[in-house]
Amino acid sequence: MTSRPAAPRRPGLPAPGQPAFVALGSNVGDRRAHLEAALVALGATPGVRVAAVSAAYQNPPVGGPPQDDYWNAVAELVTTLSPEALAARLHAVEAAAGRVRTVPAAPRTLDLDLLSCGDEVCRTPALELPHPRATCRAFGLAPWADVAPDAVVPGTGATVLAHATRLRGREPAAFAALRRVALLRVAAPRGARPAVLPDAEALAAWRARGEGTVGLVPTMGALHEGHASLARRARAACDAVLATIFVNPLQFGPTEDLARYPRTFDADLDLLADVGADAVYAPTVDDLYPAGFSTHVDVDGPTAGFEGAARPGHFRGVATVVAKLFARTRPDRAFFGRKDAQQVAVVRRMHADLDLPGAVVVAPTVRDADGLALSSRNRYLTPDERARALAIPRALDAARARAAAGERRRDALVAAARAVLDGAADVATAYVEVVDPARFVPLAELGAAPALLVVAAKVGTTRLIDNEWLLAPGDDA
């Protein structure tokens, strides 16, 4: 039993364990070091894999003697341990970090709270699950909603994002007091570099070795922590992680940045080694599209507007390459980022329509400490442009705050976001819309179904896209 819809499993696919969420806090000494050391200790625990880690949030202490601000984060684990065994392990890691329990709300080097473990609901003197304060603390819910907005909090029937939205409507000041301060590194000891598979033949030979279940992470390289988050989730859910690096000419328009798209292969291999990827398929254009290649995949429906309208042919190129990658790699699970929400809609549609193998898993967007969504294209921004680009996450946040406060009308939500974008110098908005995440059509108002606010804007010469769930999430990882 898991706390959210399980990914479809093929017969014989081993269960990797159940999801568990842990809140981490520290307000003594080097807070970042304490949190990162705890993540390493958790990842080194037999039966525990770290699937995802939120950014660290700085947060004023609640009650207790005068003390420093906290740094708080939430980690998603996949574990085969029982809730009791996992809780005992958390206590051991706290103790190893020098935590001494004194008065309530005293300062602490490390605080680890088990928020939930699978579907478990229990109230014993030794263990309460979900954690009794899991849904009433902004500093827990905000980072939790970063890593798993769609996870259902056991026993409540509501998702983490729904709880966060509700609390934010009631306690806006508590959310306003939170400040994202850093991305945390899950610094597993660097493994061997992944095997580089340069062509279809090498890929087929690797695949024929029978690596168990395979998690596919398709990328265009220039890897960053957003890509790493996908590989980490694949690592936690599958026996082997296969990344692909291919700058796909089919998805670039004639005036787009194909020639200057960043290529950082060596650094990419280091990042993939850090997250424990096993292999990377990095084909040439000729390997993927040999002479005479003339078949393309056109997905109707979710490609019609937005990026599809602004970039003719883009999704035809995306769908074609993704279909080929599914055919060549035959993944058990393939991981995509919510950052490219319309791409997700297109891939899901195609995956269902063409009966492609495995399951599509979608992971939340990773943001820099200041809120800017990570993107390979961010490296085109000058420092000044980067500062102005922050209008995009602020616009998303303004609309989310309005939704949390009860606003349901599309026009008002779009206006709230637009007001922020229009107030930023040299940010040219291409679109702001509230959409259905599967069909990618505008919604007139928020209802029970998930709704995404999507934004595209040009900052200098760089076109950036971003999005956020409003109220309740869709079915992400």
Tell me the window of 22-30, 278-286, 337-345, 402-410 that interacts with ligand AMP (CB under 6 A).
337-345
For the chain, the straight-line distance linking the first and the last C-alpha, in angstroms and rounded, comes to 16
Looking at the Cβ atoms of 129 and 363, the one nearer to ligand AMP is 363
Query: Does position 150 bind ligand AMP by CB under 6 A?
Result: no
Tell me the window of 335-343, 387-395, 450-458, 464-472 that interacts with ligand AMP (CB under 6 A).
335-343
CB of 63 to ligand AMP, least distance (A): 35
Looking at the Cβ atoms of 289 and 336, the one nearer to ligand AMP is 336
Tell me whether residue 91 is one of the annotated catalytic residues.
no
Looking at the Cβ atoms of 154 and 283, the one nearer to ligand AMP is 283
Residue among 230, 279, 359, 398 that touches ligand AMP (CB under 6 A): 230
Looking at the Cβ atoms of 403 and 464, the one nearer to ligand AMP is 464
Q: 178-198: b or e for each residue (b if 16 or more CB lie within 10 Å)? A: bebbbbbebebeeeeebeebe
Q: How far is CA 162 from the centre of its chain?
A: 17
- C-alpha to C-alpha distance for 117 and 128, rounded to whole angstroms: 11
Q: What is the DSSP letter of 356?
A: -
Whether cis (ω within 30° of 0) applies to the bond prior to 442 is no
Looking at the Cβ atoms of 278 and 307, the one nearer to ligand AMP is 307
Query: Does position 365 bind ligand AMP by CB under 6 A?
Result: yes
Quick note: the x/- pattern for ligand AMP over 410-439, rule CB under 6 A, is: ------------------------------
Looking at the Cβ atoms of 113 and 340, the one nearer to ligand AMP is 340
The owner of tokens 């062509």 is 199
Query: Does position 336 bind ligand AMP by CB under 6 A?
Result: yes
List the beta bridge partners of residue 22: 75, 114
Query: Does position 374 bind ligand AMP by CB under 6 A?
Result: yes
Query: Does position 220 bind ligand AMP by CB under 6 A?
Result: yes
Tell me the window of 115-123, 197-205, 219-227, 457-465 that interacts with ligand AMP (CB under 6 A).
219-227
Q: Where are the alpha helices (DSSP H) in 13-159?
A: 31-43, 83-96, 138-147
Query: Does position 280 bind ligand AMP by CB under 6 A?
Result: no
List the beta bridge partners of residue 179: 58
Q: Write the DSSP assignment of 150-202 as a string of letters.
A: TPBPTTT-SBHHHHHHHHHHH-HHHHHT-EEEEPPP--PPP-PPPEEE-SHHH
Tokens coding 299: 């997905």
> Strand (E) positions, 232-317?
240-245, 279-281
Q: What is the DSSP letter of 373?
A: B
Query: Does position 227 bind ligand AMP by CB under 6 A?
Result: yes
Among positive and negative, which fits the CA dihedral 454, 383, 228, 367? negative
Contacts of 413 (CB under 8 A, 6+ apart): 399, 402, 403, 407, 434, 446, 453, 470
Query: Does position 311 bind ligand AMP by CB under 6 A?
Result: no
Active-site residue identified among 227, 296, 314, 351: 227
Q: How many residues bind ligand AMP (CB under 6 A)?
A: 17
- C-alpha to C-alpha distance for 177 and 332, rounded to whole angstroms: 42
Query: Does position 366 bind ligand AMP by CB under 6 A?
Result: yes
Residue among 308, 337, 437, 474 that touches ligand AMP (CB under 6 A): 337
Tokens coding 82: 């029982």
Query: Does position 324 bind ligand AMP by CB under 6 A?
Result: no
Looking at the Cβ atoms of 314 and 388, the one nearer to ligand AMP is 314
List the beta bridge partners of residue 470: 451
Tell me the window of 252-260, 309-317, 358-366, 379-387 that interacts with ligand AMP (CB under 6 A).
358-366
CB of 375 to ligand AMP, least distance (A): 5
Query: Does position 340 bind ligand AMP by CB under 6 A?
Result: yes
Looking at the Cβ atoms of 154 and 215, the one nearer to ligand AMP is 215
CB 357 within 8 A of CB 432: no
CB of 389 to ligand AMP, least distance (A): 13
Residues involved in catalysis: 227
Binding site for ligand AMP (CB under 6 A): 219-220, 226-227, 229-230, 336-337, 339-340, 363, 365-366, 373-376
